[in-house]
Chain A
Amino acid sequence: MVTLAVNGRTVTVTVTADTPLLWLLRDHLQLTGTKFGCGAGLCGACTVLVNGTAVRACSVPVSSLTNAEVFTIEGLAGQGDPVAARVIAAWIAEQVPQCGYCAPGMIIATVALLRRIPHPNDDDIDALITNLCRCGTYPRIRKAIHRAAAAAP
């Protein structure tokens, strides 16, 4: 049994301690915006915020998350987070997604980047956005990150 806050709501779920956060979100809380891509922390499709830090939910066991504060794409998009709103708007303006499967993880990784470095240069982006996109939308992702940064008040 684990108690944690997801998108601002306290939830208690009965799962085995080794269950990764990803599967708690997807199979127990029905928050399917967080995607499964590799199960090994390599692709970033499952990126969520845990206590404000971008983490790969497939590789974080729930046992390490007691009382943690988790935000998924549903929470960030739906609750008016200002940085997330700018990132999502930039993703739309640059028409980034093709298949769209990497988008939630990419957007959350970008939110974490912009909270840390509000005006990242290309080297910052290269170093900190390591999520994978198989459709090859990287040039647009880069533009969208700069656009979101420029939109900050």
Chain B
Amino acid sequence: MPPLITLSRRAVLKGSGALILGVHLPFLPVSPAVAGSTPVTVNAWLRISPDAVTVIVARSEMGQGVFTALPMLVAEELDVDWQTVRAEMAPLDAAYANPVLGGMRTGGSTSLSGGFLPLRQAGAAARLMLMAAAAQVWRVPVTDLTTAAGVVGHAASDRRASYGALAPLARRQPVPTDPPLRSPSTWTLIGRSPPRLDTPAKVTGQATFGLDVRVPDLLYAAVRHCPILGGTLAKTDTTALKAKTPTGYRPGVIAVVPLGNAVAVVAESWWQARTALAEVTVSWNEGAHGELASTTLDPTLTKALDATDPRTIAVAASRGDIDLAMAGAARVVDSVYRLPFLAHAALEPMNATASVTATGCALWLPTQDQEQYAKILPPLLGLKPDQITVHTTFLGGSFGRRLESDFGVQAALLSKAVSRPVQVIWSREEDIRHDVYRPASVSRVTVGLDAADRVVAWRHRVVAPSILARVDPAAVRNGVDSTAVAGIDDQPYALPALHLDHVRRDTGVPVGFWRSNGHSNNAFSMESMIDEVAAALDRDPYQLRRTLLADAPRALHVLDLAAGGANWSEPLAPVGDGRRGRGIALHQAFGSVVAAVAEVTVFTDGRLRVDRVVAAVDCGVAVHPDLVRGQIEGGILFGLSAALTGKITVDKGRVVQSNFHDVRVLTLAEAPAVEVHLVPSREPPGGVGEAGTPPIAPALTNAIFSATGRRLRSLPVADHDLKTG
């Protein structure tokens, strides 16, 4: 089997918490000078060998750069040469729980904010332990020691010892509690942008993604789900596959396995599995959603805007006296905004590899949530939680999709069924049609303005299905799914009276977390409305935002930086038969503030070109500024792709779209240049993986309004005809 590079090597850990001493030290040298070459586990985050420092990364690498940024935090305090730093994915272990989300999982743009303190502390503690080891050997006060580039030195006696040599003794030192951290002014790594540690493997085809896992005796499975959302498997007819072979099926085919809502064929190769699966005749139990159709769903959501029964209306936030403020308003601006369901469409289709035996289940998979498998799988497999091991591969994109357990559970069930390791790979069609989609939403925003044209009242109703009701029902408080209404009442704008409520309408279309969750819906309605208010007042939309941000210096700075970077006040040069426009939007989420200015050209034949996007971000400390730029660029283009063409529709209970011909995603030719400006900051880091996505859709439609005078209140843009006249 080829080496599974960067896959987790199960570190032997004991207990929990950030500083866990390894317990498998093979020998303890009497002198650091005779230390062997065996890597030493110094703590849960760190293994030191003579020529490398391996930082254990507990968050899944899905492109956001945790394999680089998290090791930087440890290395900054450890005082090592960055060239010697390696990253390795952590195994599933309580030590690696996400301090923000709980459990070992990656999401909500929490990796950097959650790791910023504990990982620096782990590095600092390890450095003190290495120094303590040197002090013990040399019999000198630890205060006389210094460190530099992975070496402890004692100047007075001109002695030096490498971390690799000291590591065996260091791990036996008492673990310092609350070790002092370096002052930001002395940082040598944080704030710089060393090359990503995962790039060399990714550009040579050596990086191991989920479907690159190879284990001995591996079989492959193709799966077909009930095409009707929520339906189940009724009956399979495998006559077409029958043959006089030991398995009873044609050569290569091992088994046909029912999976509740799906059927799988397991074979010697995936192509054999896929072609055989196509010949299995299946009948389905349609369930409750056989007649589900977007044509009836959309009006149902819209109708819920007028809900009056208080039992169906969950108030998420209310400040000031909204009724009084609205009643006293000199004028009111009111609009309804509609957003579609969206697929994740990560480039690597859903897949997982499992090996289930009587004594354990090993999973190798691209997942954002390792933790869940130790809960879900034991009852299904007749195993105990500590018999589940999870090896996390690189994730070929995820955007929230790989928080789900469906593909991992399938792999385990299939391996159990055939008593061999199985890799299940979904076809792209299965991936698109059996996603958990970004919720569709319909929002009404009503804004009251006083006689002096000030915004005095903001009423916002979101009609949307609930994600939390499925994934974490206890988190639904007073009927409010916080993810459905995210990013409205906590924006930096001065809105004296605000009332936000959620009318939950579950539709039968499964919904899940999609890069930035409700922020992507709500930034659109909020930032579109601010532009509509500006238009109603005949004010420049940038200047109106400046007024509303007068008491929010951080956001104001971000707004100014984006507008300045885009030369907001300079008219755009005309282009042939194209009308040009700029649009601006700002959104605060995940501890960061992002503003985006989009520049577009709308041609007379209706073609739209996005010429440029200028963005600004304040994410607190930019641990790795180039990763921040990359995430904002990527988040913006991901959101732009959705805004331009993204939608999932259903008909007869089935998802209509199936592959990249009708799930149109942004191409290189369509992608504008994205300029990203960073606000220098020493505040704790916010998240950036998702923060770029929310503001781009409204910046785009605001730009289209500026160019054409047409206000788009629904997405995608492709549903609108922008032809002149």
Q: Which residue of the partner chain, among B204, B269, B346, B673, contacts A23 with CB atoms under 8 Å? A: B269
* Residue pair A101, B660 in contact (C-beta under 8 Å): no
Q: Which residue of the partner chain, among B204, B207, B395, B659, contacts A40 with CB atoms under 8 Å? A: B659
Interface readout for A120-135 with B: 1 if CB under 8 Å, 0 if not? 0000011101111111
- Which B residues are in CB contact (< 8 Å) with A125? 668
Question: With A38-B660, A72-B205, A141-B668 known to touch, is A101 a contact of B630 (CB < 8 Å)?
Answer: no
Q: Which of A96, A101, A142 has the most CB of B within 10 A?
A: A101
* Residue pair B203, A134 in contact (C-beta under 8 Å): no
Q: Which residue of the partner chain, among B200, B211, B271, B396, contacts A92 with CB atoms under 8 Å? A: B200
* Residue pair B668, A100 in contact (C-beta under 8 Å): no
In whole Å, how far is A120's beta carbon from the nearest beta carbon of chain B?
A: 12
Interface readout for A76-112 with B: 1 if CB under 8 Å, 0 if not? 0110000000001001100111111111100100000
* Residue pair B214, A28 in contact (C-beta under 8 Å): no
In the complex, the chain A residue whose C-beta lies closest to that of B209 is: A101
In whole Å, how far is A122's beta carbon from the nearest beta carbon of chain B?
A: 9
- Which A residues are in CB contact (< 8 Å) with B436? none
Q: Is A153 an interface residue (CB 8 A)?
A: no
Q: Which of B427, B633, B635 has the most CB of A within 10 A?
A: B633
* Residue pair B203, A97 in contact (C-beta under 8 Å): yes
- Which A residues are in CB contact (< 8 Å) with B428? 37-40
In whole Å, how far is B611's beta carbon from the nearest beta carbon of chain A?
A: 13
Q: Which of B63, B196, B202, B641 has the most CB of A within 10 A?
A: B202
* Residue pair A95, B668 in contact (C-beta under 8 Å): no
- Which A residues are in CB contact (< 8 Å) with B604? none
Q: Which residue of the partner chain, among B345, B346, B635, contacts A136 with CB atoms under 8 Å? A: B635
Q: Which of A16, A45, A132, A136 has the most CB of B within 10 A?
A: A136
Compute how far the CA of A43 lies from the CA of B432 in the bound complex, rounded to whole angstroms: 14
Compute how far the CA of A37 lies from the CA of B275 in the bound complex, rounded to whole angstroms: 17
* Residue pair B666, A138 in contact (C-beta under 8 Å): yes
Question: With A35-B209, A43-B347 known to touch, is A20 a contact of B669 (CB < 8 Å)?
Answer: no
Interface readout for A7-48 with B: 1 if CB under 8 Å, 0 if not? 000000001101110010011101111111111101101000
Q: Is B2 an interface residue (CB 8 A)?
A: yes
Q: Which residue of the partner chain, among B203, B346, B399, contacts A107 with CB atoms under 8 Å? A: B203
Question: With A36-B349, A40-B661 known to touch, is A99 a contact of B270 (CB < 8 Å)?
Answer: no
* Residue pair A77, B634 in contact (C-beta under 8 Å): no
Compute how far the CA of A139 lies from the CA of B216 in the bound complex, rounded to whole angstroms: 40
Tell me the residues in window 432-477 of chain B with beta carbons closer than 8 Å to chain A beta carbons.
none
Compute how far the CA of A137 lies from the CA of B208 in the bound complex, rounded to whole angstroms: 20
Q: Which residue of the partner chain, among A31, A37, A88, contacts B203 with CB atoms under 8 Å? A: A88
* Residue pair B199, A30 in contact (C-beta under 8 Å): no
Q: Which of A30, A130, A132 has the most CB of B within 10 A?
A: A132
In whole Å, how far is B403's beta carbon from the nearest beta carbon of chain A?
A: 15
Question: With A27-B269, A42-B660, A101-B347 known to touch, is A139 a contact of B638 (CB < 8 Å)?
Answer: no
- Which A residues are in CB contact (< 8 Å) with B641? 136
A contact residues, range? 35 or more
Compute how far the CA of A34 lies from the CA of B206 in the bound complex, rounded to whole angstroms: 10
Compute how far the CA of A85 lies from the CA of B634 in the bound complex, rounded to whole angstroms: 26
In the complex, the chain A residue whose C-beta lies closest to that of B351 is: A36
Interface readout for B645-668 with A: 1 if CB under 8 Å, 0 if not? 000000000000001110001111
In whole Å, how far is A113's beta carbon from the nearest beta carbon of chain B?
A: 11
* Residue pair B634, A136 in contact (C-beta under 8 Å): yes
Interface readout for B270-307 with A: 1 if CB under 8 Å, 0 if not? 11100100000000000000000000000000000000
In whole Å, how far is A24's beta carbon from the nearest beta carbon of chain B?
A: 8
In whole Å, how far is B434's beta carbon from the nearest beta carbon of chain A?
A: 15
In whole Å, how far is A69's beta carbon from the nearest beta carbon of chain B?
A: 18
- Which B residues are in CB contact (< 8 Å) with A19? 269, 271
- Which B residues are in CB contact (< 8 Å) with A107? 203
* Residue pair B65, A77 in contact (C-beta under 8 Å): no
In whole Å, how far is A145's beta carbon from the nearest beta carbon of chain B?
A: 9
* Residue pair A32, B214 in contact (C-beta under 8 Å): yes
* Residue pair B204, A99 in contact (C-beta under 8 Å): no
Question: With A135-B397, A138-B671 known to touch, is A39 a contact of B199 (CB < 8 Å)?
Answer: no
Q: Which residue of the partner chain, among B193, B347, B635, B668, contacts A142 with CB atoms under 8 Å? A: B668
- Which B residues are in CB contact (< 8 Å) with A43? 347, 660
* Residue pair B638, A77 in contact (C-beta under 8 Å): no
* Residue pair A104, B638 in contact (C-beta under 8 Å): no
* Residue pair A95, B199 in contact (C-beta under 8 Å): yes
Q: Is B626 an interface residue (CB 8 A)?
A: yes
Binding site for A on B (CB under 8 A): 2, 62-65, 193, 195-196, 198-209, 211-212, 214, 220, 269-272, 275, 345-349, 394-399, 425, 427-428, 626, 630-631, 633-638, 640-641, 659-661, 665-669, 671-674
In the A-B complex, the 9 residue pairs with the smallest Cβ-Cβ separation, listed nearest first, are A33-B205, A136-B637, A100-B202, A101-B396, A98-B63, A99-B63, A73-B205, A126-B669, A138-B671
Binding site for B on A (CB under 8 A): 15-16, 18-20, 23, 26-28, 30-40, 42-43, 45, 72-74, 77-78, 88, 91-92, 95-104, 107, 125-127, 129-142
The 27 sampled A-B contact pairs (Cβ below 8 Å) are: A16-B275, A32-B214, A33-B204, A36-B349, A37-B349, A40-B661, A42-B660, A92-B200, A95-B193, A95-B196, A97-B199, A97-B202, A99-B396, A100-B394, A101-B348, A103-B203, A107-B203, A126-B669, A133-B347, A134-B665, A135-B638, A136-B638, A137-B630, A137-B634, A139-B637, A139-B671, A140-B633
Known pairs A39-B428, A100-B63, A100-B202. 6 more at Cβ < 8 A? A18-B275, A27-B220, A30-B214, A135-B634, A138-B666, A139-B674
